[in-house]
Amino acid sequence: MEGVDHLAHERSKAQFDVDEMKIVWAGSRHSFEVSDRISRLVASDPVFRKDNRTMLARKDLFKNTLRKAAHAWKRIIDLRLTEEEAKTLRFFVDEPAYTDLHWGMFLPAIQGQGTDEQQEKWLPLAYKMQIIGCYAQTELGHGSNVQGLETTATFDPQKDEFIINSPTLTSSKWWPGGLGKISTHAVVYARLITDGQDHGVHGFIVQLRSLDDHLPLPGITVGDIGMKFGSGAYNSMDNGVLRFDNVRIPRDQMLMRVSQVTREGKYMQSNVPRQLVYGTMVFVRKTIVSDASCALSRAVCIATRYSAVRRQFGSQKGGVETQVIDYKTQQSRLFPLLASAYAFRFVGEWLSWLYTDVTQRLQAKDFATLPEAHACTAGLKSLTTSATADAIEECRKLCGGHGYLSSSGLPELFAVYVPACTYEGDNIVLLLQVARFLVKTVSQLVSGKKPVGTTAYLGRVELLMQSRPNVQKAEDWLQPSVIVEVFEARATRMSVACAKNVSKFPSLEEGFAELSADLVEAAVAHCQLIVVSKFIEKLQQVIPGKGVKEQLLNLCYIYALFLLHKHLGDFVSTGCITPKQASLANDQLRSLYSQVRPNAVALVDAFNYTDHYLSSVLGRYDGNVYQNLYDEAWKDPLNESVVPDGYHEYVRPLLTQQLRNARL
């Protein structure tokens, strides 16, 4: 059976040019070429094998990750990879590792918050990995509320040094990735204190371990915080705990781009605008959104292929059974997730544009659009990560019993993905920020302040409070303008209702607190509108390739109408659509599912994932699921012996006992 493509029939049914779709998915021909080449490079290298991950005990798992990280670095150097290629390689190695934080947080923190001299000193060391850094912000007692951090950095003008200290148990740094066992340095966030005065939280570069023998420096207690969700999964990362017992660092290791402490101990603001932090935030969140589309598409790829392989019920007179992908329930659970994968991909692409825009505006000292950009990225981070986490688990369920096996790849994908809902801002806390921004925007409308960017639609509030879509038959839903208007109307009405209700409370703060659950829902409505709009905007571009645009259009409608159905209460109770129109949308959705059905396998092939990256027996490209499930099973350590360890001590005595005093 080796070499047979069990999904060939499915592939032959596709009504579009898969190779062109691969380019669309990748973002450009260049991106496709890089990711295709590097993913194969990783897949063909035995050091990067992943299939035994879940069977390794923690120490072995961790050591194996160190090995991969070193090998990855060696490949990057030996092959003289570009920065883009190096990043792509780390991505396809696909294992949380200390290097993620070194490249993803430590370096950007210094770039964003360090002065030019600091950058000149530290960046080359970090770029060459002569030091390894992490990002130590969260403490045992404070995560979301960064302003509540307790670690102190007290300036000692006598020695021109800061004294970093952990005054309480809850001030222990807790969670930073790469901290536990590997990092030699950290950007540590601590309350800056000069002359008895607390200036709030600032960043400091602190060396943690000796570069000679890797032992923690005096005054530093550091270790790993222990096992996390899943086997394998995030346990290859050494999230760490860190305590400081009055550790001294030179003054010039405070990150001083925005504010400074002088030799005399004077605290000062530089002329660099504080808003700079927004740039970094948009950057990090854009990465998180595009990671969401990767994780989601990966789960969808597995579930789609397996749903085409799996047959259950429906055989007529001993004939072959129905592929489960042909059941409408399976389609109505799976295809909206397929559509979401594409939707998140495109909104991620748009965020790259937004990042460029924000950067340029910052350079031009134009801060006007920053709050909107900030709210927008916060909301999109929250929306896409929550949806992706749920979707991975739904994909697992879509695979029935076999989805519960580690070899399906889905349990580990879930376990490694879910913290994205929590880190870089707890998703609910982020949505509350979005909601506040929306309420503020709405209340400023009367004073004539014009909403910008993704909130521009609120400028048409009067129209949108009244609008009714012209939908009389199912096909009427297949109009981008109708879809956008309905989503705008819903988001507007929910924001306006919130603003109105909040204002009824004695104070705004009370109103926000009391109505926060409603506010979160309004924020979600706004964010979903953004995703829908950006998908539609994408389709207004020229997209070459036979049938490619048609497929994307179908997916776009599925995404929108699925949301409409899921949040029907919002749409109907705000009067944006009638129950009759809702039911027409549902009819249209079913017909869209039928149109996607023959293209489903090809639509996931377009992600161009190697079997190595998927690491799922159920998601194999060739669909040869059963033989491989069977073969995988025998690799479990439990199968090393026929009679299991423990049988003689703990099972045999039961089987051979004579029961005397049992009541049973």
Ligand X SMILES: Cc1cc2nc3c(=O)[nH]c(=O)nc-3n(C[C@H](O)[C@H](O)[C@H](O)COP(=O)(O)OP(=O)(O)OC[C@H]3O[C@@H](n4cnc5c(N)ncnc54)[C@H](O)[C@@H]3O)c2cc1C
Q: Which residues make up each annotated binding site for FAD? A: 138, 177
Nearest residue to ligand X, scored by beta-carbon proximity = 143
CB 208 within 8 Å of CB 186 = yes
- The CA distances from residue 489 to 254, 440, 467, 525, 566, in Å, are 48, 18, 7, 10, 16
Residue in this structure with the two tokens 């994205």, named with its chain if needed:
420
Backbone angles phi and psi of 203, in degrees to 5: -100, 145
CB atoms within 10 A of CB 439: 25
Contact 256, 114 (CB under 8 A): yes
Indicate whether 516 belongs to the interface with its own copies (CB under 8 A).
yes
What residues have CB less than 8 Å from 221, skipping those under 6 apart? 241, 242, 243, 245
Which listed residue (380, 498, 520, 529) binds its own copies by CB under 8 A?
520
170 vs 444, which CB is nearer to its own copies?
170
Is the CB of 8 or the CB of 79 nearer to its own copies? 79
Pairing of strands 240-244, 173-174: antiparallel
The single residue among 9, 13, 266, 328 that binds its own copies, judged by CB under 8 A, is 328
Distances (CA, A) of 257 to 115, 117, 118: 5, 10, 9
Tell which one of 17, 36, 476, 518 touches its own copies (CB under 8 A): 518
Phi, psi dihedrals of residue 99, rounded to the nearest 5°: -65, -25
653, interface contact from its own copies, ligand X, none, CB < 5-8 Å by kind: its own copies
Question: 354 or 558, CB closer to its own copies?
Answer: 558
User: For its own copies, which is the closer residue by CB, 232 or 451?
Assistant: 232
Using CB distances below 5 to 8 A depending on partner kind, what does residue 101 bind out of its own copies, ligand X, none? Answer: ligand X
481 binds its own copies (CB under 8 A): no
Size of interface with its own copies, in residues (CB under 8 A)? 151
Which of residues 324 and 548 has its CB atom nearest to its own copies in the complex? Answer: 324
Choose, from 424, 475, 521, 550, the residue flagged as catalytic. 424
Binder among 285, 310, 374, 534 for ligand X (CB under 6 A): 310
Handedness of CA 97, 100, 105, 108 (dihedral sign): positive
Residue 105 Cβ, how far from ligand X at the closest point, in Å? 6
**Whether residue 424 lies in the annotated active site:** yes
Give the residue ranges of the annotated binding site. Answer: 138, 177
**Out of its own copies, ligand X, none, which partner does residue 649 contact, by CB within 5 to 8 A per kind?**
its own copies
573 contributes a contact to its own copies by CB under 8 A: yes
User: Quick check: 313 binds ligand X (CB under 6 A)?
Assistant: yes
Name the token pair of 577: 């659509």
Cα–Cα distance list, 245 to 271, 349, 367, 394 (Å): 34, 45, 41, 47
Quick one: which of 34, 101, 131, 531 contacts ligand X (CB under 6 A)? 101
644 binds, among ligand X, its own copies, none (CB under 5 to 8 A by kind): its own copies
User: Taking CB under 6 A as the criterion, which residues in 387-426 touch ligand X?
Assistant: 398, 400-402, 404, 419, 422-423, 426
> Nearest Cα to 610, choosing from 622, 624, 596, 594?
622
Residues 159-218 that bind ligand X (CB under 6 A): 175-177
Query: With contact defined as beta carbons under 8 Å apart, do 175 and 239 qualify?
Result: yes
Shortest Cβ 378–ligand X spacing (Å): 13
Find the binding residues for ligand X in span 573-592 (CB under 6 A): none
Q: Decide the pairing of beta strands 247-250 and 161-165.
A: antiparallel
Q: Counting contacts by CB under 8 A, is residue 401 touching its own copies?
A: yes
Of 122-161, which residues contact ligand X (CB under 6 A)? 135-138, 143-144
Q: Which of 15, 28, 33, 70 binds its own copies (CB under 8 A)?
A: 70
Q: How far apart, in whole angstroms, are the C-alpha atoms of residue 507 and residue 503?
A: 7
The verdict on 542 binding its own copies (CB under 8 A) reads no
Residues paired with residue 133 on neighbouring β-strands, in sequence order: 185
Q: How far is CA 28 from CA 21, 291, 317, 544, 659, in A?
A: 10, 17, 49, 12, 73
User: What are the catalytic residues?
Assistant: 424
Q: Which residues bind ligand X (CB under 6 A)?
A: 101, 135-138, 143-144, 175-177, 234, 239, 310, 312-313, 324, 327, 329-330, 398, 400-402, 404, 419, 422-423, 426, 428-429, 432
